[in-house]
Amino acid sequence: MTRSFRIAISDDRLVRIRRQIEDFEWKDFPDAGGWKSGVGLTDLRRLVDNWIKTFDWRAQEAKLNRRQHYLTDVDGQTLHFVRARGDGSRLPILLLHGWPGSFIEFEELIDPLAEDGHDVVVPSLPGFAFSGRPDAPIGPRRTAALMDRLMRELFPGKRYIVQGGDWGSAVGAWMAHDYPDRVAALHINMMTAQADGVDPETAEEKAWGERVSKLAGEERGYFLEQSTRPQTLGIAMSDSPVGVAAWILEKFGVWADVARDDAGRPDLWAAFDEDLLLTNIMLYVAPRSFVTSTWLYRGRVLEGSHVFPAGSRVTVPTGVAAFPDPVFPLPPRALAERSYRIESWTDMERGGHFAALEQPDLLLADLRAFVENVR
């Protein structure tokens, strides 16, 4: 049953979070080399100082509650989602976030898409924010089934469009793969799933593969930990808001398309507002969802959903917004086309991993152009 929902973190919970932040022992953390060895302590301290001195969760909570929030139960899993209603003249659109993002990534896209006529649905993935905790780790393919069921219940008999980045791209890809009769079009700005056996062949494709392997050696430590030992990591993070902030802030600093100085320090504050970053972090800390948000990585391993079955392909019309992601570069189009029916591919001049936050206007324009004739 779908019911209305309002975000309302208890005063006791907020008091405890604040006390933990204020009590953090900074003297226990000598600098290991700025951003060369993990999150830069100078930038982390700036964020945490803002958290203590100026950040107002209640104000952010009120802002979030201007949207219509709902909870519903799908196959035993409670899902939180935001919904904005269009006039029904266009197909519904499902917008899917990833980790370490949240439903707030799409704030700048919701109203324009609804004004275009789309009903817009923005869920929190299972285990994230205000969605319920899964009983055990589930991966993108199982999550895809839940999201398809959500859209079927909200829009009986209607096809729908999916847009996603990070995990949203994987979940969306599996939705398009498994439910092509219901997914009218897929739009992604990251590509994590390809058909089993589709390997680089040309010089360009092999160069991409080598680049990905090199980046993995430096940047995928978090991925291995969350894919193999999320429970241990969760215990370490569950009682440390500053720890969660550090884990998440590092990804925004490394994955975003921002200028960097000679020491590798990213100009985070030119791309992201502190209140935005803290609100996103609080959606992991306040509802105690950081632990289960990492389960999606473990679930991917357990269900083997890193590849589509050999010989299969996403046959749904697919649009790709290729932002210059510094850590997760998209494959060459020719390689991607062996796993997806790509009908639109746009090479973006700027914007990184968090495209909906970094360059919402570019992402919106590309999505609008792609779905213009989708009925």
Q: Which residue's entry shows tokens 């409670």?
A: 78
- The confidence score (pLDDT) of residue 136 equals 95
pLDDT digits over 132-188, tens only?
999 999 999 999 999 999 999 999 999 999 999 999 999 999 999 999 999 999 999
Structure tokens, 30: 């000598």
Long-range pairs for 195-203: beta carbons < 8 A, 24 or more residues apart:
195/307, 195/308, 195/309, 195/310, 195/311, 195/312, 195/313, 195/338, 195/339, 196/307, 196/308, 196/309, 196/310, 197/310, 197/311, 198/335, 198/338, 198/339, 200/331, 200/335, 201/335, 202/332, 202/334, 202/335
Confidence of residue 245 (pLDDT cuts 50, 70, 90): very high
Tokens coding 299: 């679930």
Cα separation, 82 vs 235, in Å, equals 30
Place of tokens 């320090």: 265
Averaged pLDDT, 255-262? 94
- Is residue 364 within a helix (H) or strand (E), and if so which, with residue range? helix 360-371
Per-position b or e across 112-130, b if 16+ CB within 10 A of its CB? bbbebebbbbbbbbbbbbb
Instruction: Give per-residue pLDDT as tens, 21-70.
Output: 999 999 888 888 889 899 999 999 999 999 999 999 999 999 999 999 99
Q: How many CB atoms lie within 10 A of CB 374?
A: 17
pLDDT at 232: 93
Q: State the average pLDDT over residues 245-259.
A: 96
Question: What is the predicted pLDDT for the residue at 122?
Answer: 98
What pLDDT was estimated at residue 323?
98
Tell me the C-alpha distance between 101 and 79, whole Å. 16
Query: In the structure encoding, which two tokens stand for residue 283, read together?
Result: 């959606």
Residue 95: the pLDDT is: 98
Cα torsion 221, 227, 232, 237: sign: positive
Hunting for tokens 């495209």 — which residue is that?
Answer: 355
Summarised one tens digit per residue, pLDDT across range 61-72 is 999 999 999 999
pLDDT at 30: 85
Average pLDDT, the chain: 96
Confidence at 263, pLDDT banded by 50, 70, 90 = confident
Q: CA gyration radius for the chain?
A: 20
Structure confidence at residue 238 as a pLDDT band (50, 70, 90):
confident
Handedness of CA 355, 39, 215, 128 (dihedral sign): negative
Confidence of residue 374 (pLDDT cuts 50, 70, 90): confident
The CA distance from 65 to 223, in Å, is 32
- Least confident piece of the model among 50-54, 190-194, 355-359, 360-364: 190-194
User: Using one digit for the tens of pLDDT, what is the confidence trace for 76-89?
Assistant: 999 999 999 999 99
Q: What is the reported pTM?
A: 0.97
Given the structure tokens 């894919």, which residue do they identify? 227
- Which residues lie closer than 8 Å to 38 by C-beta, 6 or more apart? 32, 246, 250
What is the predicted pLDDT for the residue at 259? 94
Pick from 367, 277, 361, 306: which is nearest to 167 by CA?
A: 306
What percent of the chain is modeled with pLDDT above 70? 100
pLDDT of 368 > 80? The answer is yes
Please check whether residue 161 is in contact with residue 371, taking contact to mean a CB–CB distance below 8 angstroms. yes
Residue 29: the pLDDT is 82
In b/e form, how buried is each residue of 70-90, taking b as 16+ CB within 10 angstroms? Answer: bbbebeebebbbbbbebeeeb
Q: Is the dihedral of CA 169, 207, 309, 91 positive or negative?
A: positive
Percentage above 90 pLDDT, the chain = 92
pLDDT greater than 80 at residue 233 = yes
Question: pLDDT tens digits for 206-223?
Answer: 999 999 999 988 898 999
